[in-house]
Structure 1
Amino acid sequence: MTDASYSSASSIEAGNPGLDVASAASDFGARTADFIALLKPRVMFLVVFTGLVGMVVAPGALHPVLAFTALLCIAVGAGASGAINMWFDADIDAVMERTSARPIPLGRIQPSEALGFGSVLSVGSVAVMGLGVNWVAALWLAITIGFYVFVYTMWLKRRTPQNIVIGGAAGAFPPMIGWAAVTGDISLYPVLLFGIIFLWTPPHFWALALYRSDDYARAGVPMLPVVAGEAETRRQILYYSLVLVPFTLVPWLLGYTGALYGIGAALLGAGLLVLAAQIFRGSGMAAPKRMFAYSILYLFLLFALLLAERWLDLPMGFPGLAGGA
C-alpha cells in the first residue's frame, strides 16, 4: 500500500472529519435555500418594490433605518404568506408541473416546518412593523397576510374561478402599507395605486392560466380557463385590460402625478392593449406567454415612473388642472 492510499484509508476509518464538515455545510446551505424558496422571492420583489413606491410618494419622510425596517417587514410578511400558502397547497403543488419542484413536494421540508416558519415570520413582521414604525402600517400588513392566507389560499382558490380577482387584493396592499408607514394614515392616492395592482392581477394571472390550464385542471383548481373555457378567458383578459389602462391615468388626471408618469402609463398601456387584443383574436399560446412576461415589466415600469418623478422632483398635475391633490 502506498503512502497516499494508506492516508486515504486512514481518513475513511477515522470518519474523515473534513468531509463531515463539508457535508454538514452543504446540507445547511441546501436547507437554507429551501427555506428561502418557501418565501417566493420572485413574487416578493414586486411586493417590496410597490411598497417602496408607496413610501416614496407619501408626503413626509422616514428615517432611513425606519424605512428599511418597514420594507423588511413588508418583505418578510409577503414571504411568510408564501410559506403558509405552500403548506396549505402542498397537495396541489405536487401534481402541478409548475410547482412540483417546490421544497415540500420534493420532501426537503416538512409541511409542519413550513407552517411554523410562516406563522412565526407573520407574527414577527407585524410586531416589528408596529413597534418599530407605526401600528397603522402594521394593521395593513396584518390585513395583507390574513387576506392572502385565509381569503385567497384557504377560501377562494379551490372554490371559485374568481379566486384571482378577489384574492388579488392581497398583492395590491403594499403601496398602502408603504404610505401608512410614512404618514400613519391612508388617503386616496395609495388607494388608487391599490386599484391599479388589483385590476392588473386578473389579466396577468389569466394569461399564465391559459398556457398552464392543464396544470390547473389536473390539480382541480377552478381557474377561469378550466371552468369557463379558453374563449371566455381571452375575452376577460381584454375586458380587464380595457379597464386597467384608463384607470392607470387617473392619478395623473387628479394631479397626484406628472406628465412623465401620465405619458409613460399611456404608452405602456398601449402595449398591454395590443397584447390583450392579440390574445382575444388568437388561438395559440404565444400571445398569452408574451402577455404574462410583459405584464410583469409593465407593472414594474409603471411604478418606476412614480419613483422617477419624485426623485427628479418633477411638477405634478395634469395640464389645465390644479396639481398636487
Structure 2
Amino acid sequence: CASYAGWATATGSIDLLGFLVGFIVFLWTPSHFWALAIKIKEEYANAKVPMLPVLVGEGKAAKYILLNTAILVPYSIAITFLGLGLIYLIVAVLSGLMLVMYNVKLIKEPKSLAFKAYMASNQYLVAVFLGLMFDALYNIPIIP
C-alpha cells in the first residue's frame, strides 16, 4: 500500500503503527468508491458492472457506507493510542465527525448527496494524513 511505503520512507522503519496507518486507506476505500458509484449508478448498470448500488440500490448502499464509516472512524481514532499524539487525535475526531455527518445525510438523499459524500471522504483522508504529518512535526503528547 502506498501509505505504508510513505510511512517507511518518512520514518525509516517498517513497523506495526505504519501498517495500521496504512490500513486506514483499506477501510476508507469502500465508502469512497460506493459514494461515487451511487452518483454514477446508471453508468455502471449500463456497462453491467456490479457495483454495490447497482446490486442493492442507492438507499441500501448508503446504509453500507455509513456502516463502513462506523468502522473506519473509531479505528482511525483508536490507533492514536499506539504512539500518535494530540494533533492527530483532534484531527481524527473532527474529520471523523464530518464524515459521519455527511454519510448520515446520504441515507436520506442518496442520489443528490452522493457526490458530496464522495468529496467528504476525500477531505477526510487528506485531513487524517495531514494530521499525521503535523503530529510528527510538533509531537504534542496526549497526556503531558
Q: Would you say same fold, with TM above 0.5? A: yes
Instruction: Name the counterpart of 1:174.
Output: 2
Aligned counterparts of 1:231 and 1:271: Cα–Cα separation in 2: 20
Q: CA deviation at 1:300?
A: 0.6
1:34-45 equivalences in 2 (<5 Å)? none
CA offset digits 1:247-277 (Å, max 9, x no partner) = 11122122x2111110111011101101111
Q: CA deviation at 1:185?
A: 5.4
Structure 1 gaps, min length 5: 1-172, 321-325
Aligned counterparts of 1:295 and 1:216: Cα–Cα separation in 2: 20
Aligned counterparts of 1:187 and 1:286: Cα–Cα separation in 2: 42
Amino acid at match of 1:302: V
2:137 is aligned with 1:319? no
2:131 is aligned with 1:305? yes
1:221 aligned counterpart, secondary structure: coil
1:79-228 equivalences in 2 (<5 Å)? 173-181=1-9, 186-228=14-56
Instruction: Name the counterpart of 1:291.
Output: 117
Q: CA deviation at 1:306?
A: 1.0
Aligned counterparts of 1:279 and 1:183: Cα–Cα separation in 2: 37
What is the alpha-carbon root mean square deviation over aligned residues?
Answer: 1.9
TM-score by length of 1: 0.42
Q: CA deviation at 1:286?
A: 2.6
2:98 is aligned with 1:274? no
Higher share of residues assigned helix = 2
Q: Which has the larger radius of gyration?
A: 1
Change (3 A) 1:182 1:287: closer
Aligned counterparts of 1:176 and 1:201: Cα–Cα separation in 2: 15
2:61 aligned counterpart, secondary structure: helix
Q: Give aligned-pair identity as a percent.
A: 34
Amino acid at match of 1:300: V
Aligned counterparts of 1:272 and 1:302: Cα–Cα separation in 2: 12
Aligned counterparts of 1:183 and 1:259: Cα–Cα separation in 2: 19
